[in-house]
């Protein structure tokens, strides 16, 4: 290639178009609040947990009493709508079942609102399963300037009472809902929390969330308009909507046999057996991964999954697992098959779920 | 393999240091561009694929287990993004819908013209091997093909490129 080698070594010039689009990606990342942590050094903590729990019992009784006479129409809010695209009927059933909680419906809603420096933040909707929790918070008392992207200086979270504990780890991704307001004119902040490993369940745990400093995220930093702190201790539901399905099907061209599936409206865990684990190629374990679902009506939902983890369950690598979240709420009863990717750039194979 | 400085950047980026991530990706911008162009042959699509790749890398960086393989890992994501775009926009191959070249396509014209003389499937291994220093084995894994196929494609690509230069 001596005559043509210049082609491969010559310097390329990045066009303004390329720079503009890549800079847009970097800017988007800078505006995103993402913390993987067990939080330390919490400045102030408003422990209203006990009071809220007691009030919640009263609230539950009150709501139950009302529901005997008139059904409540549950609405998750525009932020959760945008994040999980749940249908109205899914919002009703998952809230009725206790999988999702709409805080505005709680008689003790006022006790969940935290105010600092004139800005009030309150949990809006929380939906949870074993591995994932999605939360939205409504923010009032802050008016972004026209065109301003709003963000927090930091958002952090941990599970349980002790932020230093090993099981306090939780992975959290958060972002402002498109910088738009909900129907009450409030900003909405969305959080996706993910269990740190496949052995940790979020169900029944207390998720502590702390927001610090609210301001303009238009630049690579937050220009603090409000130097406040808002902290929450949210008891997560212990109700699971997951369905366990025994499978026992070989995943074609992989050497893996899918043995069981635990599928909920917002995530999935699958387990495999394998006689001989594939060679590790750089970072690829070679474990098949669920990427979508096939519904009973023939609809294929591809690119459904995100986040989570894959790995082996034992040192001998005879068992493997994957858990991953869904980008939208799924009606578990309607899932006919899983779409499983065996290798990059190949079509996913279908694994039927026979109940 | 990467320099120790680069691996430190990867580790800092994995701890969600946004400045480190930006600095890290900036190191590979031109390599990303060359790979994207080799597949897409279109400035706008290449820019979109690079944008998607940056976001995907940030999203998934915590899943990278061995920081030494960051570039291979990132390149795989980029290649997947590019092929996703090709699948999503098959109109590129429809002559009637073919768009006029944009002003951006004037950039790096010599590279694009030479690549246009080489089949797409040969361009990518050539770019990865001759320009970016990937090994045959690594390219085989990146493209999910055998090492012998990589060697064959490099050989055929070389011949096509030599013919192009002879005819110029």
DSSP for A239-305 reads: ----EEEEEEEEETTTTEEEEEEEE-SSEEEEEEEESSPPPPBTTB----EEEEEEETTS-EE-S-E
Is residue A36 within 8 angstroms of chain B, CB to CB?
Answer: yes
Give tens-digit pLDDT for B10-52.
Answer: 988 887 788 899 999 999 999 999 999 999 998 999 999 999 9
Instruction: Tell me which residue in A8, A282, A345 faces B144 most closely, judged by beta carbons.
Output: A345
Paired residues of A253 in beta bridges = none
Is residue A171 within 8 angstroms of chain B, CB to CB?
Answer: yes
In angstroms, what CA-CA distances link B155 with A5, A7, A305, B35, B149?
14, 16, 39, 19, 10
Residue B145 has pLDDT above 50, yes or no: yes
Question: How much of chain A, in percent, has pLDDT values that exceed 70?
Answer: 82
Torsion, CA A36, CA B77, CA A346, CA B63, rounded to 10: -20
Do A283 and B83 make contact, defined as CB atoms within 8 angstroms?
no
> What is the pLDDT, as a whole number, of residue A167?
81
> What is the pLDDT, as a whole number, of residue A204?
95
Give tens-digit pLDDT for A325-345.
Answer: 998 999 999 999 999 998 766
B161: chain A residues, CB-CB within 8 Å: 1, 4, 7
Residue A117 or A197, more confident:
A117
Q: Collect all residues with Cβ–Cβ distance below 8 Å to B158 and sequence separation of at least 6.
A: A1, A4, B126
CB-CB contact of A125 with A80 (8 Å): yes
Residue B6 or A59, more confident:
B6
- The residue to which tokens 């942590």 are assigned: A37
Residue A102 has pLDDT above 70, yes or no: yes
> What is the pLDDT, as a whole number, of residue B90?
59
> What is the pLDDT, as a whole number, of residue A22?
95
Q: What is the DSSP string of A83-152?
A: HH---HHHHHHHHHTTSEEEGGGSTTHHHH-EEETTEEEEEEEEEE-SSEEEEEEEEES--PPTTPPEEE
> What is the pLDDT, as a whole number, of residue A155?
84
Closest CA to A154 of A55, A317, A20, A42: A42
Residue A197 has pLDDT above 70, yes or no: yes
Average pLDDT score over chain B: 85
Q: In whole angstroms, how large is the CA radius of gyration of chain B? A: 17
> What is the pLDDT, as a whole number, of residue A345?
66
What number of CA atoms fall less than 13 Å from residue B98's CA on the CB side?
A: 7
B46: chain A residues, CB-CB within 8 Å: 18
CB-CB contact of B14 with B61 (8 Å): yes
Is residue A24 within 8 angstroms of chain B, CB to CB?
Answer: yes
Q: In which element (H, E) is residue A317 found?
A: none
Interface mutation target, options B130, B146, B151, chain A, most CBs of A under 10 Å = B130
Residue A63 has pLDDT above 70, yes or no: no
Do B33 and A18 make contact, defined as CB atoms within 8 angstroms?
yes
d(CA A205, CA A165): 13
Q: In which element (H, E) is residue A221 found?
A: none
B114: chain A residues, CB-CB within 8 Å: 4, 7
The pTM is what?
Answer: 0.60
d(CA A194, CA A157): 11
Q: Collect all residues with Cβ–Cβ distance below 8 Å to A70 and sequence separation of at least 6.
A: none
DSSP E strands in chain B: the ranges are: none
Q: Output the six-digit token pair for A344.
A: 């990059």
Is residue A145 within 8 angstroms of chain B, CB to CB?
Answer: no
pLDDT band at A181 (very low <50, low <70, confident <90, very high): low
> What is the pLDDT, as a whole number, of residue A34?
43
Average pLDDT score over chain A: 81
CB-CB contact of A212 with A194 (8 Å): no
> What is the pLDDT, as a whole number, of residue A184?
66
Q: Collect all residues with Cβ–Cβ distance below 8 Å to A103 and sequence separation of at least 6.
A: A109, A112, A122, A123, A124, A125, A126
Give tens-digit pLDDT for A245-297.
Answer: 999 999 998 899 999 999 999 999 999 999 888 876 655 678 899 999 999 99
> What is the pLDDT, as a whole number, of residue A277?
81
d(CA A263, CA A275): 25
Is residue A8 within 8 angstroms of chain B, CB to CB?
Answer: yes
Average pLDDT over residues A348-354: 93
Q: Which of A9-23, A78-92, A163-177, B47-61 has the lowest mean pLDDT?
A: A163-177
Q: Output the six-digit token pair for B166.
A: 């002879």
Q: How far is B94 from chain A (nearest CA, A)?
A: 23
Q: Output the six-digit token pair for B109.
A: 């014209």
Closest CA to A157 of A211, A79, A84: A211
Q: Output the six-digit token pair for A47.
A: 């422990």
Paired residues of A257 in beta bridges = A250, A273
Average pLDDT over residues B105-114: 85
Q: In which element (H, E) is residue A215 found?
A: strand A206-216
d(CA A266, CA A224): 34
Q: How far is A66 from chain B (nearest CA, A)?
A: 44
Q: Collect all residues with Cβ–Cβ distance below 8 Å to A32 and sequence separation of at least 6.
A: A173, A174, A175
d(CA B92, CA A17): 19
Average pLDDT over residues B70-76: 92
CB-CB contact of A328 with A83 (8 Å): no
Is residue A110 within 8 angstroms of chain B, CB to CB?
Answer: no
Q: Output the six-digit token pair for B54.
A: 């940056």
> What is the pLDDT, as a whole number, of residue B75?
95
């Amino acid at each position: 290639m001596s005559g043509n080698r210049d082609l491969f070594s010559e310097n390329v010039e990045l066009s303004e178009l390329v720079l503009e689009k890549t800079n847009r990606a970097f800017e988007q990342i800078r505006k995103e609040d993402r913390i993987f942590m067990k939080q330390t050094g919490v400045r102030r903590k408003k422990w209203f947990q006990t009071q809220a729990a007691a009030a919640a019992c009263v609230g539950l009784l009150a709501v139950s009493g009302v529901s005997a006479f008139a059904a409540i129409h549950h609405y998750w809010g525009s932020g959760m709508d945008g994040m999980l695209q749940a249908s109205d009927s899914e919002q009703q059933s998952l809230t009725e079942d206790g999988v999702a909680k709409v805080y505005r419906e709680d008689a003790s809603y006022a006790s969940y609102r935290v105010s600092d420096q004139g800005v009030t933040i309150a949990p809006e909707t929380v939906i949870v399963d074993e591995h994932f929790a999605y939360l939205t918070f409504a923010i009032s008392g802050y008016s972004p300037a026209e065109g301003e992207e709003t963000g927090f200086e930091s958002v952090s979270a941990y599970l349980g009472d002790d932020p230093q504990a090993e099981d306090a780890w939780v992975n959290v991704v958060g972002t402002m809902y498109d910088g738009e307001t909900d129907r009450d004119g409030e900003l909405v902040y969305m959080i996706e929390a993910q269990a740190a490993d496949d052995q940790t369940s979020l169900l029944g745990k207390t998720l502590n969330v702390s927001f610090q400093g609210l301001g303009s995220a238009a630049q690579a930093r937050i220009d603090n308009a409000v130097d406040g702190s808002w902290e929450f201790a949210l008891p997560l539901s212990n109700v699971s909507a997951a369905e366990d399905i025994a499978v026992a099907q070989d995943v074609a061209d992989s050497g893996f046999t899918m043995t069981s599936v635990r599928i909920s409206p917002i995530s999935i865990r699958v387990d495999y057996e394998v006689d001989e684990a594939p060679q590790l190629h750089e970072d690829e374990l070679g474990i098949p991964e669920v990427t979508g679902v096939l519904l009973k009506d023939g609809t294929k939902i591809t690119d459904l999954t995100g986040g989570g983890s894959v790995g082996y369950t034992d040192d001998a690598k005879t068992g493997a697992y994957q858990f991953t979240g869904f980008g939208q709420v799924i009606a578990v009863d309607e899932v006919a098959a899983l779409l499983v990717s065996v290798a990059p750039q190949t079509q996913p194979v279908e694994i039927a779920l026979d109940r | 393999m990467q320099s120790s400085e680069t691996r430190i950047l990867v580790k800092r980026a994995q701890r969600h240091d946004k400045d480190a991530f930006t600095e890290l990706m900036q190191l590979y911008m031109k390599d990303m561009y060359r790979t994207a162009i080799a597949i897409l042959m279109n400035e706008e699509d290449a820019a979109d694929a690079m944008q998607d790749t940056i976001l995907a890398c940030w999203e998934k960086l915590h899943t990278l287990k061995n920081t030494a393989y960051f570039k291979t890992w990132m390149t795989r994501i980029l290649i997947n993004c590019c092929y996703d775009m090709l699948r999503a926009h098959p109109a590129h191959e429809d002559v009637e819908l073919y768009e006029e070249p944009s002003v951006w396509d004037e950039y790096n014209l010599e590279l694009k013209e030479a690549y246009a003389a080489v089949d797409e499937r040969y361009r990518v291994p050539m770019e990865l091997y001759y320009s970016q220093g990937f090994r045959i084995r690594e390219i085989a894994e990146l493209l999910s093909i055998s090492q012998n196929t990589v060697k064959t494609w490099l050989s055929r690509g070389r011949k096509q490129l030599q013919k192009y230069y002879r005819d110029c």
